[in-house]
Structure 1
Amino acid sequence: MKESSFYTKLYEDDSSAKKTVQCNLCGRMCRIADGGLGFCKTQKNSDGKLFSINYHRIASCHTDPIEKKPLYHFLPGSSTYSIGGFGCNFSCLNCQNYMLSMNSYDKFNSTKILPETIVKNAINDNCLSISWTYNEPTLYFDFARETSLISHKENLKNVYVSNGYMSEESLRETLNFIDAFNIDLKFFDDKLYREICGGKLDIVLDNLKAIHQSKSHLEITTLLINDLNTDEDQIRLICNFIIEELGADVPLHFSRFFPMHKMNDKSPTDIDYLIRAKEIAIDMGVEYVYLGNMPVDNNTYCPNCGELLIARERYCNSDKNRIRDGHCINCGHKLNFVLR
């Protein structure tokens, strides 16, 4: 365990019988009694001090295409070393990784691994980045920061695949070492955020704006679920926020839902809804729109002249990359890409 970087003691002195602390790592701001765990099951109060019990411990590691995160505009065609563990600060009823996110650590279900080993593994697998994924990476702050400082010295980039529910304080520090984010914008409805995820929409929106204003690369994913967020008004609200508050060149991924966890009674998203969502987004001016979890054209085209820039088949990119110095090779339009 390692003492957490973000918490406040809610007691006056060490002799206090009630050594409650407030965790300041994410938007939940959990108040945790002595001996207790935060909602995420990774932050533990031990004698009035808060510790990260997931420090140097993971549940899963794998080398993936960066497009699987999904990140289509960040080091396209490269591999990323993906790691994750247990716990989450959301309680999404449809979570596809609930076996990890809804469970907690014990000495039998996790593996100890040092930052140096993660970096070495990434280099040996010819990865250009390390991705904190599978469960919510915000909960790994201290471990991720330590690993990122080492990986940057080896010219590796660092990625968060996140629900975007960091506290303002922890996000500010995270932006110093994370190079790219894919953030889930699950709904544009606070009631649905509370009912389905146990979170609040405004915190996610504020964090999206902060990430976009930083030097980090940003892409957004919205999982479309029948009868919840497939209404055209919902799609327009999401697109309008991106265009007005972030920028029309922020890539948007609409992903298809499949029955999972506590939503096994719902049907897979109608494909027509996803196709229509993409049409609406493009018509509104979002420059890069992709569809996930379904076989479809996910090539990248120049938003100015329509030139095919990157051809993709599933997660594999064609070697014919028609981007030069961050611009379309045909018309010279500046593109939102981070290239090797």
Structure 2
Amino acid sequence: MLVNNDLYKKSSKTQKIRCEICANYCKIADGKVGICRQHKNINGELYDESYGIVSSLSPDPVEKKPLNKFLPGTFTYSIGGFGCNMTCLHCQNYMISHEYDINSRGIKITPEVIVENALNYNCKSIAWTYNEPTIHLPFSKKTSLLARQKKLKVIYVSNGYYSGKSLEEVLTFVDAFNIDLKSMSQDFYKKVCGADLDVVLDNLKRIYLEGKHLEITNLIINDYNDSIDEITQLCDFVVTELGPEVPLHFSRAFPYYKMDNISPTRQEILYKAKEIAEEKGINSVYLGNI
């Protein structure tokens, strides 16, 4: 599927193109793909190689996303794809984001069938989840617009690593976000996720200012982002830059993928994080994976 030409730029001197769908801004040579492995330069045009191909489809309680303050008690039709624009060493879904065979595992489906499935399961929304939805922007947009015509809400469960252009587009059709704010350390984002913290923070502020429903998840990892100072800094950001009404989810990490040498997050630090968040004035604080 050819990507809209306002989401990439052609070079006047070479066959390379600059993808502007996410904040990596990959410069892709002819015949090559970007970091997400979903977008390919074919003769100087950008194509979404996985348009209409998903990894999973399932009706889930909306609280599983987790979204505890958006359509509580309802089901959402969850759609997962392949690939990611971050390279997190602790990825919980690495089987579809980093190590996969799309030809053997991919499920071909149309936007119309996705929406029909959601309605048949009596879901009140659809959720783009399990992998980063932004990298499938053309497909998620078309499906989401059709879903909204059928009175379904649209959810993005995301790492928040959008380009300015893609976020502007996403904001036109997404009703609710859960953003994974992985750390308040630029060093953590660079070394563990291959990304830029400031981009995520700026995008969180933009989502909030646009009046979208927003909840934040922070996966706490022993000896990486579990210090009292960092947890306090994260809570301060939520209160001062967003608002105390934004729900905050602290989640327990387990050894996985390329961080299989860590130990499960100490439960006492999760309870301490909840205490800090509540003392800072955050109204709704939840603990996950315990």
TM-score in terms of structure 1 length? 0.83
The structure whose Rg is larger is: 1
| Equivalent residue, structure 2, for 1:73 | 69
| Equivalent residue, structure 2, for 1:114 | 110
CA contact (8 A) 2:254 2:264 kept: yes
| Equivalent residue, structure 1, for 2:2 | 2
Q: Which residue of the other structure, out of 159, 164, 172, is the alignment partner of 1:163?
A: 159
More helix by share: 2
The CA deviation string for residues 153-179 of structure 1, in whole angstroms up to 9 with x for no partner, is 111001000000000111011000000
| Equivalent residue, structure 1, for 2:221 | 225
The aligned amino acid for 1:10 is S
Q: How far is the alpha carbon of 1:229 from its aligned partner? A: 1.1
Q: Indicate yes or no: 2:54 matched with 1:46.
A: no
The aligned amino acid for 1:8 is K
Distance 1:34 1:243 in 2: 45
| Equivalent residue, structure 1, for 2:240 | 244
Q: How far is the alpha carbon of 1:284 from its aligned partner? A: 1.0
Give the 3 Å change call, closer, same or farther, for CA 26–104 of structure 1 in structure 2. farther
CA contact (8 A) 2:115 2:146 kept: yes
| Equivalent residue, structure 2, for 1:11 | 12
Distance 2:72 2:250 in 1: 19
| Equivalent residue, structure 2, for 1:307 | none
Residue pairs, 1:205-224, within 5 angstroms = 205-224=201-220
The aligned amino acid for 1:11 is S
SS for the counterpart of 2:277 is helix
SS for the counterpart of 1:261 is coil
Q: Indicate yes or no: 2:95 matched with 1:94.
A: no
Q: Indicate yes or no: 2:128 matched with 1:132.
A: yes
The aligned amino acid for 2:10 is K
Residue pairs, 1:178-327, within 5 angstroms = 178-294=174-290
| Equivalent residue, structure 2, for 1:146 | 142
Q: How far is the alpha carbon of 1:92 from its aligned partner? A: 0.4
Distance 1:114 1:139 in 2: 17
Q: Which residue of the other structure, out of 3, 17, 42, is the alignment partner of 1:21?
A: 17
Q: How far is the alpha carbon of 1:111 from its aligned partner? A: 1.4
Distance 2:253 2:23 in 1: 26
| Equivalent residue, structure 2, for 1:324 | none
CA contact (8 A) 2:51 2:138 kept: yes
SS for the counterpart of 1:72 is coil
Distance 1:104 1:19 in 2: 28
CA contact (8 A) 1:63 1:79 kept: yes
Identity %: 51
Distance 2:151 2:189 in 1: 37
CA contact (8 A) 2:82 2:102 kept: no
The CA deviation string for residues 73-111 of structure 1, in whole angstroms up to 9 with x for no partner, is 000000010011110000101001000000356433211
TM-score in terms of structure 2 length? 0.98
Distance 2:161 2:55 in 1: 22
Distance 1:118 1:241 in 2: 37
Q: How far is the alpha carbon of 1:38 from its aligned partner? A: 0.3
Distance 2:217 2:226 in 1: 14
Distance 2:232 2:126 in 1: 33
Distance 1:250 1:200 in 2: 22
Count of aligned pairs between the two proteins: 289
Q: How far is the alpha carbon of 1:189 from its aligned partner? A: 0.4
CA contact (8 A) 2:19 2:26 kept: yes
Q: How far is the alpha carbon of 1:265 from its aligned partner? A: 0.6
Distance 1:32 1:265 in 2: 34
Distance 2:57 2:24 in 1: 27
SS for the counterpart of 2:105 is coil
Give the 3 Å change call, closer, same or farther, for CA 36–104 of structure 1 in structure 2. farther
SS for the counterpart of 1:2 is coil
| Equivalent residue, structure 2, for 1:326 | none
CA contact (8 A) 2:2 2:45 kept: no
Q: Indicate yes or no: 2:80 matched with 1:84.
A: yes
The CA deviation string for residues 7-37 of structure 1, in whole angstroms up to 9 with x for no partner, is 000125xxxxx31000000110000000000
Q: How far is the alpha carbon of 1:287 from its aligned partner? A: 1.0
